[in-house]
Each structure stands twice: as structure tokens, then as C-alpha cells.
Chain A
Amino acid sequence: SQQGEEDPQALSIQEGENATMNCSYKTSINNLQWYRQNSGRGLVHLILIRSNEREKHSGRLRVTLDTSKKSSSLLITASRAADTASYFCATDGGSGYALNFGKGTSLLVTP
């Protein structure tokens, strides 16, 4: 079953701007993860945030988690054309094993 739900479905920005994507989920979690998928390829892990963490940074990525609202956001700062991809959030639904993904946000960064 699909746990996460990303918003917006599509996002178009110019290079240098920031991109923010949101994710909402339904059940309790141990952790929430964000992945990136280039067209026609496998997914690449970006960042994992534990349920007891509120914010995490990795390079130009900033992830926040609000377990009371069952939501997370991914911020990509100073975006580049190479950031063009689909971004997915994934939750373990409390199982610790079965990662369930949302439908993703399609990000287009134009030069």
C-alpha cells in the first residue's frame, strides 16, 4: 500500500531557486526517507530521518519531520539543472522492513 503522498505532483523552477516538496503519511513510522529517480532509472537514496529527529541536513538538502502532523518536507537549496528528477518519500509504516513509497514529485529545473 502507498503510505506517503507527495505534494506538489510537479514543480518547475529556475536554477538557483529553492525547491520544496512535502510528504504526508498515515501511520506511525520508525523513519522516513527521501529518494530521487532519474527518468527510467532506479531510485537513489538521499536522506533518512528517524522518528525522533525533527530536522536533518545533507549538503544542499534539508529535511524536516513533524510526527504530530505526520508530514515531512524536503528542501533543495540553490537548485541546478542536474537536480531535475522525481523525488519520493518512503516510510516503513512502523514495520521496519517494508518501505512504502508515495507517487512522487516531478521536479524540473531550467537553466
Chain B
Amino acid sequence: SQTIHQWPATLVQPVGSPLSLECTVEGTSNPNLYWYRQAAGRGLQLLFYSVGIGQISSEVPQNLSASRPQDRQFILSSKKLLLSDSGFYLCAWSFGGTIYTEAFFGQGTRLTVV
């Protein structure tokens, strides 16, 4: 069976500090990978998605970047955090090669920039 791991669960970082959130998937190959951000009381904003190693699509211009160094590893980064980067970050995966697939979510990272 497939599992997704996302860490850390909570993070408090000062403004201007770097960020690295990691997400890994087990039990499948060549998954589609996603990073979402959810502001308090709001919906999910798609930040990045990847359909293969080294292939990153960015949905919104921002202070963040994503990388996929391995097939089942997806990393969200920032060189200098802003207060507006606070939020609930969710990693997700779906089966590659089909358009009729659900997304499986990690438990999220709550980031507070202070």
C-alpha cells in the first residue's frame, strides 16, 4: 500500500529565515506530486505540481520554490520567509499516467512566521 510522509507537523520560523519542507511517498512509482497552502479559514491554493523528476509547474508567483530530486520526494523551499508565508502546507500525490485519479494528502505542516 502507498503512504505519504510530510514533516515537520508544526514549524515556527522568524522572518527572513530559510524554509525546507519535505514530503516523501512510498509504495508507488512516478506519482504526480503537489504542494498546497491553506490560509486560515480558506480554501487550498495550489502552489506547485510535478509529473516527473525535475518537472515542476508553478501555479502562482511567490517567495517559494519546489524541487523533486528523486521520484518520490518533493521539497518546498524558501530562501527568506515573509510573514505572509504563514499557513497550513499540504503535500499530496496521485497516480501518474491517468487523469482519473484521486489525490492522497499528507497530514500537513502548520508554518508560523514570526
Task: Give the B-binding residues of A (Cβ under 8 A).
Answer: 1-2, 30-31, 33, 35, 40-45, 48, 50, 88, 90, 92, 96-104
Contact = CB atoms under 8 A, between A and B. Distances in A.
Which one of A1, A2, A99 has the greatest number of beta carbons of chain B within 10 Å?
Answer: A99
Contacts of A96: 98-99
A43 B106 CA distance: 8
A90 B104 CA distance: 13
A98 B99 contact: no
Contacts of A97: 32, 49, 51, 94, 99
B103 A99 contact: yes
A52 B51 CA distance: 25
B43 A48 contact: no
Given A2-B45, A50-B100, 14 more contacts: A30-B99, A33-B102, A40-B108, A42-B90, A43-B44, A43-B90, A45-B104, A88-B44, A92-B99, A96-B99, A97-B32, A98-B46, A99-B46, A104-B43
B46 A42 contact: no
16 contacts: A31-B100, A33-B102, A42-B90, A42-B105, A42-B107, A43-B105, A45-B104, A88-B43, A88-B44, A98-B59, A99-B46, A99-B92, A99-B94, A99-B103, A101-B44, A102-B43
B49 A98 contact: yes
A2 to B, nearest CB: 6
Interface of B: 32, 34, 36, 42-46, 49, 51, 57, 59-60, 88, 90, 92, 94, 98-108, 110
A43 B101 CA distance: 15
Nearest to A45: B102
Contacts of B101: 48
Contacts of B98: 96
Contacts of B108: 40-42
Contacts of A101: 36, 43-44, 46
A43 B45 CA distance: 13
Contacts of A48: 100-102
Nearest to A50: B100
